[in-house]
Amino acid sequence: MLDIESEAHEIWAMAQLMPDEGIVDGVDRIKNKLAELTQHTKHAEALRKIAADLDRAAIAAHEEDAPNAAEFLETKARQLRTLM
């Protein structure tokens, strides 16, 4: 889970400039951090969706739709590997 307070402190620190730096240097550091946070958020959303899909597959397998559930689980496993 994202700790907003910690991230805010980190971004504030990134905004501080060394004597030989300009504003663009600080802005570039902040842009990179925000891009990183965005990527983590996208992965978290994808993982939540896959987890919900896996729950549905487990229910289907329990209801004796095992062949379809197995194929579905293989598809979800491939999706998880792309996020790693």
pLDDT at 20: 93
0.85 surpassed by pTM = no
Q: Percent of the chain, pLDDT > 70?
A: 82
For the stretch 21-40, pLDDT in tens is 888 888 899 898 888 888 88
Q: What counts of helices (H) and strands (E) characterise the chain?
A: 3, 0
